[in-house]
Chains A and B, each alone.
Chain A
Amino acid sequence: MSELWQGILRALELLVTFDPEVMAVTFRSLGISVTACIISALVCLPLGSLIHFTSFRGKHLLVSIIQTFYSLPTVLVGLLVFILFSRAGPFGDLGLMFTPTLMVIGQALLVIPLMLGLIISALASLDKTVADTAFSLGASRFQAGILALKEARYAVVTAVIMGFGRAISEVGLAMMVGGNIRGFTRILTTAISLETSKGDIELSLALGFILLIISLVINVVLGRLQQVRSSAAH
């Protein structure tokens, strides 16, 4: 138990003293995952409403496939991205292997199925009359989509939070396509993994707590958004 306590104290110490290396790793983690999350949201919000509002054959199958990808192992996505972007791979010429950029791409690939699936279910849980009313009042599909996303905001924001959670907490992909290079692609989770393997349990725990603190802040901010949006709507 004293180890846990030491870890908390060390986390506070590192945060209060703005330890430069820890700050850099923390901001890098945050920057990569937030960027990946924004890209995913930009893809998933329109795509999710498009899938929801369009009837086509195999829609249920598509949704099932998307939901299957919720449990996609991060190392498998990592391996896929590695094969594609390694110099010997089809996108090797881009020279993105072992860069933060590729980590963003990988995390977006990881997050998109989860966010997309959750947005589709968020829209599906809406009362059907919402869209019908909008259409009957002459709304375009785009306008109806926006309206539906607003109506389902609580679940939609939850989808974004879940996506961010998956991005910031994963380690397999970051390790594989980022390479855990000190000062360049090392993020909180890969640093925890390395420090643990070096036997610095205290520092690992401290980094873990910092990761949790970040998630708390992000969740509070997004939770605020849910509340403000609902009070503005009523």
Chain B
Amino acid sequence: MKNVKTILLSLLLSAAVIAGVAGCGSSDGSSIIQAQDRLRIATTTSLYDTGLWNALEDRFEQEQGIRLDILYAGTGIALEYGRRGDVDAVAVHAKATEEQFIADGYGIERVPFAYNYFVIVGPESDPAGIKGLSPEDAFKKLYETQTAFISRGDESGTHTKEKAIWKAAGFDYEAVTDSGAWYVEAGKGMGPTLQMAAEMEAYTLSDIGTFLAYKAETGLVTIVDSGSILLNVYSFIAINPDKVEGADAEKAQILVDFLVSDEIQQFIEDYGKADYGTSLFTPCAGNEPTS
């Protein structure tokens, strides 16, 4: 029986060693028990899917020596993480919701740092024939022809924008969601939703950045891309420690300064040019873009 115990013990020990190694590897030697000395932000999926945050994360960590933890979350859940105190800041894109968030005291200040446009994308054949229409008229025609449309359906910034367009087109959103199988609620991030639209030969609303990043792979094309309602502003909001206990506003401010610095604004402007032939974002250094 002795060797049974030996084997059991050695197995336990080796498991503990593995766990230990994994622990060290996972956090560059810092504690895995708690999340101190880390700045934690939740970012909208469209900013993540373009790869922008990955690139910014590396630069920020090197230049500032602060570990940045990035959570992939749509605007809805990102703001919820903020309210609950699970993140120190959020990067989101739904102006009205953000303003409410700040009015409720959860956020300190809304700092727009980049913008681009939403586009209605779909199969090249344009089965509903909506090319050239305004976004509102395009939605109206999709509804009338009951042509497959994939909605994010996740309270993200893109979803919020979609609802705004339905409203501007004169529809009650509830009625749209209940109007038939043509309207599909994906409940996924932007990238996966685009993949789904391609699989189902459907239309969807996407930010231009994620769309360009997925264009080659999905084969979808831009159908409607002009109309003032399609403006898409990304802003950064630090969580207010007076309202939400434990939020690290100091580190969040460092990231704000970093984002609106000339160097990083230029970096954002150039981001994606080499891969897509056009920049994915237009920087706006803390100011609200008007057009």
Contacts and interface: CB of A to CB of B under 8 A. Distances in A.
Given A179-B69, A184-B26, A87 B11 contact: no
B72 interface: yes
A232 B214 CA distance: 59
B49 interface: yes
A233 B4 CA distance: 9
B150 to A, nearest CB: 14
A34 interface: yes
Contact of A199 (B36, B195, B244): B195
Residue from A101, A197, A221, A229 with most neighbouring chain B CB atoms (10 Å): A197
Residue from B4, B20, B33 with most neighbouring chain A CB atoms (10 Å): B4
A172 interface: no
A38 B15 contact: yes
B35 A32 contact: no
Contacts of B18: 27, 30-31, 34
A34 B16 CA distance: 8
Interface secondary structure of A, over-half rule? helix
Contacts of A183: 26-28
Interface secondary structure of B, over-half rule? helix
A197 B191 contact: yes
A178 to B, nearest CB: 10
Interface residues of A, number: 41
B96 interface: no
A202 B198 CA distance: 19
Contact of A198 (B3, B21, B191): B191
Contacts of B269: none
A87 B85 contact: yes
A98 B83 contact: no
B70 interface: yes
A31 B20 CA distance: 7
B94 to A, nearest CB: 21
Interface stretch (A46-54, A88-96, A118-126): A88-96
Given A34-B15, A86-B85, A101-B33, 7 more contacts: A88-B83, A95-B246, A100-B32, A179-B69, A197-B195, A221-B11, A233-B4
11 contacts: A31-B26, A38-B15, A88-B83, A92-B84, A97-B86, A183-B26, A184-B27, A184-B67, A197-B191, A221-B11, A229-B7
Interface of A: 23-24, 27-32, 34-35, 38, 86-89, 92, 94-101, 179-185, 194, 197-199, 221, 225, 228-229, 232-233
What are the nearest 10 A-B pairs in CB distance? A31-B22, A87-B85, A88-B84, A27-B22, A31-B19, A197-B192, A181-B69, A179-B71, A35-B19, A34-B15
